[in-house]
């Protein structure tokens, strides 16, 4: 088992429960209970899409560095020439309290920031926000991993080890075992921590009427995650800017793909054709469930 995963699971679960009670509300959650099955089956293709993207992402990250070296498109020198010692200057203001805060934010805060919106939007009557969220996440990973395969970019902690400290690992050595499971030190451009954090904040702005309290919380957390990537010496400012651009592209594309006005056009036609085999798979699952329950579950068309 990857170190820290049990701790992360417990902490994030507690935070999600607290957020569900205070931000979402028990009444909304209770209303969702009666339509949970139908909603989950309707969203099954989107969930399956994200799961497939994450699996492919995991495989490509394992073999990615070797493919990157075959292309040998190195951009580390260009990034360093562009921004110089910005990260080192940022770290010059480091304090023990700030290091603790940004270390916990980079790991615990980041996971909560990504998971909570899915839960919150899932219980909304309008299913478009949760579909936008899932598609945005998938696009972030697809485009981000493509960039990781295309470019070789070392982080500031590798380029300037004499003046940039690996603060996360100095304060929290176990975190090194976790981050090395999901990242290689040659694929820091763009910052997916930044892109996904900004994505969540943008989606929170789009749903601010439903969850007004979530917008300021998500913005503060997103900004904290962004700063943490540089403060801890993991990413360049250039990575962060690229990540923010990636977030804007992903959210805009997801909004377009889920726009009701596109349902009668080519996007809607392709979407319905893609849904057909997935719906058949879901229906087969329902038929199996009927063998164990007497409740009839109708799958929306």
Q: How many CB atoms lie within 10 A of CB 159?
A: 18
Distances (CA, A) of 173 to 4, 42, 46, 167, 262: 11, 43, 36, 9, 49
* C-alpha–C-alpha distance, residues 273 and 284, integer Å: 18
Residue 55 lies in a domain: yes
Q: Which pLDDT score, from 0 to 100, does residue 246 have?
A: 97
Residue 170 lies in a domain: yes
Measuring CA to CA, which residue among 196, 269, 223, 183 is closest to residue 50?
196
Q: What is the extent of the structural domain holding 147? A: 5-26+37-258
Measuring CA to CA, which residue among 252, 101, 232 is closest to residue 169?
232
- Please report, rounded to a whole number, the percentage of residues in the chain having pLDDT higher than 70: 79
Residue 268 lies in a domain: no
pTM of the model: 0.83
**Digits of tens for pLDDT over the chain (301 positions)?**
445 556 778 888 889 899 888 998 888 888 887 777 777 877 888 888 889 888 888 887 777 677 777 777 888 999 999 998 899 999 989 888 998 899 889 988 999 999 999 999 998 888 889 999 999 999 999 999 888 888 888 888 888 888 888 877 776 666 655 555 455 566 788 999 999 999 999 999 999 999 999 999 999 999 999 999 999 988 999 999 999 999 999 999 999 888 877 666 565 565 556 555 655 555 565 555 555 544 444 544 4
- What are phi and psi for residue 85, nearest 5 degrees? -100, 35
- Please report, rounded to a whole number, the percentage of residues in the chain having pLDDT higher than 90: 35
Q: Which pLDDT score, from 0 to 100, does residue 219 have?
A: 97
Residue 210 lies in a domain: yes
Residue 301 lies in a domain: no
Residue 167 lies in a domain: yes
Q: Which pLDDT score, from 0 to 100, does residue 259 have?
A: 81
Residue 42 lies in a domain: yes
Name the domain count of the chain.
1
Residue 285 lies in a domain: no
Q: How far is CA 266 from the centre of its chain?
A: 28
């Amino acid at each position: 088992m990857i170190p820290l995963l049990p701790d992360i699971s417990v902490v994030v679960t507690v935070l999600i429960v607290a957020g569900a009670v205070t931000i979402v509300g028990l009444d909304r959650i209770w209303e969702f209970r009666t339509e949970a099955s139908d909603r989950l089956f309707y969203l099954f293709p989107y969930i399956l899409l994200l799961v497939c993207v994450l699996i492919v992402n995991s495989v490509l990250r394992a073999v990615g560095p070797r493919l990157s070296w075959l292309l040998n498109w190195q951009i580390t020198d260009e990034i360093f020439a562009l921004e110089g010692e910005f990260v080192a200057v940022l770290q010059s203001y480091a304090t023990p309290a700030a290091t603790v805060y940004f270390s916990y934010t980079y790991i615990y805060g980041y996971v909560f920031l990504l998971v909570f919106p899915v839960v919150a939007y899932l219980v909304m009557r309008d299913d478009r926000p949760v579909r936008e969220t899932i598609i945005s996440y998938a696009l972030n990973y697809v485009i981000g991993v493509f960039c990781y395969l295309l470019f070789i970019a070392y982080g500031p902690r590798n380029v300037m080890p004499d003046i940039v400290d690996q603060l996360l690992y100095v304060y929290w050595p176990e975190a090194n075992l976790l981050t090395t499971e999901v990242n290689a030190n040659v694929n820091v451009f763009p910052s997916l921590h930044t892109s996904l954090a900004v994505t969540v904040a943008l989606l929170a702005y789009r749903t601010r009427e439903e969850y007004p309290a979530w917008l300021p919380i998500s913005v503060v957390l997103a900004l904290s995650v962004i700063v943490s990537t540089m403060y801890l010496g993991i990413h360049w400012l250039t990575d962060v800017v690229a990540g923010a651009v990636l977030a804007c592209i992903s959210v805009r594309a997801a909004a377009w793909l889920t726009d009701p006005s596109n349902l009668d056009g080519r996007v809607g036609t392709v979407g319905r054709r893609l849904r057909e085999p997935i719906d058949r798979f879901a229906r087969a699952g329902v038929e199996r469930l009927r063998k164990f329950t007497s409740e009839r579950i109708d799958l929306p068309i």
